[in-house]
Amino acid sequence: MRRRQFVSLLMGAAVVQTVAARAQQIAMPVVGFLSGRSLSSDAHLVKAFSRGLADNGYVEGRNVNIEFRWAEGKSEQLTQFAIDLALNNHASVVFAGAIDTRIHELQKVLANIPVVYALGGDPVLLGVAASLARPGGNATGMTVMTAALWPKRLALLRELVGRTDLVAVLIDPANETAARATQDVEAAAKDIDQRISLVNARSNSEFDAALTAISEERAGALLVPDDPVFINSRKYLIALAARYTLPVLYGRSEFPADGGLASYGANPEEQYYQCGLYVGRILAGTKPADLPFLQPTKFELVINLRTAKSLGLKVPETLLVAADKVIE
């Protein structure tokens, strides 16, 4: 009897602990993590985001649950994912990154939920915020403000490869900032008297056709901005650039890390870390309307010397000194 009573007590305690654990899990707030890219490409960004959450006291599995939704480059899935997070998972706050082709749809779906965006474009022009300092609605986050980077990127590319008659620029026509990006890069090119060719592409087959056309136009270099579609396909784009022996300046540091020539842009891990901090503050009670949209305070130049050598390029010493990271 004593043994049976002891076992019964143990089983009862186990049941109580299980119920308590489940109750605690159910009571945890849910953070929706919505991305147009994939876990395989963005695992390092998830770590940075989680670090930001933890620095505000929220640790996944302990006092917060994170529901991940990865579109894997299929942006048409983002809206349904957002609906799922809002209705089925009852997300307390949604983080949205790499969603530049569906911003307006997502704003409608998530209108009643706090949203923290990692953006490349201007949130005011995109209708996400009333102003950078006072967003005023349900959304905040961090924006790279890519438009301001075109002059610097063109100047760096010219310094990297020397004066070239024609520079090609890859554009994702489905990106909601594409029209503005076209205007901005054309204005930046005009200011330095650089002839450019804008090429639309957003899939591997279109990238093939684009690089063929760029080669036939005899463009001396290519600019690839930090668009989610391009980042998702970065290894394919890098391989194409190598096949055509084409110098390319990219918008994200992951490109030279994977064998691309060079990049100039914001640190993506810092962007996701700051967004994680914001999500933590919102979970703690701060309203998105009271959190200004952040902008990077520093942009990084990364150069892959091995790739430069394979292209027959001698990188100027001034660029090597200015670079934040040189891959040898």
- By three-state DSSP, how is residue 227 classified? coil
Is the full-model pTM beyond 0.75? Answer: yes
Check whether residue 196 and residue 155 sit in a common domain: yes
9 has a pLDDT exceeding 80? no
Is 134 part of any domain? yes
Question: Residue-wise over 278-314: b if at least 16 C-beta within 10 A, else e?
Answer: bbbbbbeeeebbebebbebeebbbbbbbebbeebebe
Report the b/e string of 100-130 with b at 16+ CB within 10 A. bbbbebbbebbeebbbbbbbbbbbeebebbe
pLDDT beyond 70 at 23 = no
- pLDDT digits 0-9 by tens, 175-202: 888 888 899 999 999 999 999 999 999 9
Model confidence band, residue 11 (pLDDT cutoffs 50, 70, 90): very low
User: Does residue 307 form part of some domain?
Assistant: yes
Residue 2 located in a structural domain: no
- 3-class DSSP state of 92: coil
Domains contained in the chain, number: 2
88 part of a folded domain: yes
State the pLDDT at residue 154. Answer: 96
Mean pLDDT value across the chain: 91
Q: At a CB cut-off of 8 Å and minimum separation 6, what does 31 contact?
A: 53, 58, 64, 65, 66, 67, 91, 92, 93, 94, 95, 279, 283
| pLDDT at position 326 | 98
Are 33 and 131 in the same domain?
yes
Q: What is the pLDDT of residue 177?
A: 85
* Residues 180 and 306 placed together within one structural domain of the fold: yes
Same domain, 201 and 282: no
Instruction: State mean pLDDT over 4-31.
Output: 52
Does one domain contain both 118 and 207?
no
Distance, CA of 300 to CA of 250 (rounded, Å)? 11
Q: What is the mean pLDDT of residues 126-149?
A: 93
- Is residue 319 located within the same domain as residue 233? yes
Task: Tell me, yes or no, whether 122 and 179 share the same domain.
Answer: no
Category of 284 on φ-ψ map: left (φ > 0), alpha (ψ -120 to 50) or beta: alpha
86 has a pLDDT exceeding 90: yes
Taking 60 as the threshold, does the pLDDT of residue 6 lie above it?
no
Could you read off the pLDDT of 209-250 as tens digits, one per residue? 999 999 999 999 999 998 888 998 999 999 999 999 999 999
pLDDT in tens, 12-22: 444 334 434 44
pLDDT score for 180 = 87
Residues 178 and 137 in one domain: no
Assess whether 217 and 321 both reside in one domain. yes
In 3-state terms, the chain is what percent helix, strand and coil (to 5)? 45, 20, 35
Q: 139 and 159 in one domain?
A: no
pLDDT, residue 26, reads 52
**Do both 134 and 166 map to the same domain?**
no
CA dihedral 129, 132, 137, 138 (to 10 degrees): 90
Which residue segment(s) compose the domain that 23 sits in?
19-145+268-290
Q: Does residue 53 register a pLDDT over 90?
A: yes
Check whether residue 95 and residue 229 sit in a common domain.
Answer: no
Let me know if residue 6 belongs to a domain.
Answer: no
| Rounded alpha-carbon distances, angstroms, from residue 60 to 25, 68, 216 | 11, 12, 51
Write out pLDDT tens, residues 155-175.
Answer: 999 999 998 999 999 999 988
Specify the CATH number for the domain of residue 169.
3.40.50.2300
pLDDT digits (tens, 9 = 90+) for 138-158: 999 999 988 789 999 999 999
pLDDT at 41 (0 to 100)? 87
User: Would you say residue 195 lies in a domain?
Assistant: yes
Q: What is the mean pLDDT of residues 51-56?
A: 98
Residue 82 lies in a domain: yes
Q: Is residue 89 part of a domain?
A: yes
- Assess whether pLDDT exceeds 90 at residue 95: yes
Percent of the chain with pLDDT over 90: 80
